[in-house]
């Protein structure tokens, strides 16, 4: 019996060790083979590069608004999977409504070197924001952050450091710890997790207008987490629920209801200011 117990304990220890070492492969799901902007549906987009403070070069596309000058410029912070090409329809839709967009890939995603981590994505977000300040065609007083899922946590973190004109959080979670507990309730997530993204702790530090959008059938980020984060906000805020939408449904990428909510919120925030 003692031998069996020791074997079980060793097996558990080995399993937890493997989870500790390989957990980022479960969180970050980068895709390579980024198509050209034109083949992704953005023939007017400009290929751009910019550097992070730890020496990495990140690639992206700057999509100008159809009508110039742009009413706003939006940085899109991607979720945990794919590459910037998946967000091309969103950029195209925004451009037609007078919003320029910076699409970019985090380190380790698309054609970028590096390995993704919470610290790394934080550096990438700062670099994307800094890049926009170098462009003469961008009004830096009207930069908007749009974060989806994991990217919502990245955008929120940046907003506490460098507030944007407005912040849009699509399917945000309260923390990576809470998401881990939701999907893996049998694991000691609090002790294992390296990248925590504590959005709920940061929410009360936000000073910019914030729009939270969530699908009521989200099977990855429970809508209760998005609502809890929304309730913690102390700045101007709005909560929009897209009925019947799951996490990866088109309705939450560039759907008509999502687009209208974003445009209405930006117009309202501009009027208030």
Fold of 2-272: Rossmann fold (3.40.50)
Q: Catalytic one among 59, 83, 124, 149?
A: 149
For residue 23, the model assigns a pLDDT of 59
Closest CA to 47 of 56, 66, 38: 38
For residue 225, the model assigns a pLDDT of 98
For residue 9, the model assigns a pLDDT of 44
For residue 2, the model assigns a pLDDT of 59
In this prediction, the residues of the chain whose per-residue pLDDT falls under 70 are 1-23, 272-273
Known catalytic residue: 182? no
For residue 3, the model assigns a pLDDT of 58
The answer to whether 127 and 50 are in contact (CB under 8 A) is yes
CA distance 26 to 129: 27
Q: Catalytic one among 178, 218, 226, 269?
A: 218
The answer to whether 50 and 130 are in contact (CB under 8 A) is yes
For residue 183, the model assigns a pLDDT of 80
Known catalytic residue: 39? no
Domain boundaries defined on the chain: 2-272
Q: Report the DSSP beta bridge partners of residue 101.
A: 63, 74
Q: Catalytic one among 139, 182, 235, 247?
A: 247
HEC string of 83-103?
A: CHHHHHHHHHHHHCCCEEEEE
For residue 187, the model assigns a pLDDT of 76
For residue 14, the model assigns a pLDDT of 45
Known catalytic residue: 267? no
């Amino acid at each position: 019996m003692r031998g069996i117990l020791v074997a079980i304990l060793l097996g558990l220890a080995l399993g937890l060790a493997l989870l500790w070492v390989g957990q980022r492969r479960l969180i970050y799901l980068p895709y390579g083979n980024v198509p050209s902007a034109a083949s992704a549906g953005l023939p007017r987009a400009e290929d751009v590069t910019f550097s992070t403070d730890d020496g990495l070069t990140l690639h992206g596309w700057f999509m100008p608004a159809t009508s110039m000058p742009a009413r706003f410029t939006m940085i899109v912070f991607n979720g945990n999977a794919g590459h910037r090409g998946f967000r091309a329809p969103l950029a195209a839709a925004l451009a037609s409504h007078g919003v320029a967009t910076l699409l970019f890939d985090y380190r380790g995603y698309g054609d970028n070197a590096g390995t993704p981590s919470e610290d790394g994505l934080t550096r990438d977000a700062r670099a994307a924001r800094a890049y926009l300040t170098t462009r003469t065609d961008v009004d830096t007083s009207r930069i908007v952050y749009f974060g989806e899922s994991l990217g919502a946590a990245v955008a929120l973190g940046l907003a506490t450091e460098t507030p944007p004109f407005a912040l849009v959080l699509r399917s945000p979670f309260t923390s990576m710890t809470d998401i881990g507990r939701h999907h893996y309730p049998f694991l000691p997530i609090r002790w294992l997790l390296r990248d925590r993204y504590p959005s709920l702790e940061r929410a009360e530090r936000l000073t910019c207008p914030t729009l939270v959008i969530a699908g009521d059938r989200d099977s990855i980020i429970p809508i209760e987490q998005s609502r809890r984060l929304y309730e913690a906000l102390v700045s101007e805020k709005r909560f929009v629920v897209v009925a019947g939408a799951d996490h990866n449904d088109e309705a939450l990428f560039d759907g008509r209801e999502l687009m209208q909510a974003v445009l209405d919120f930006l117009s309202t925030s501009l009027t208030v200011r």
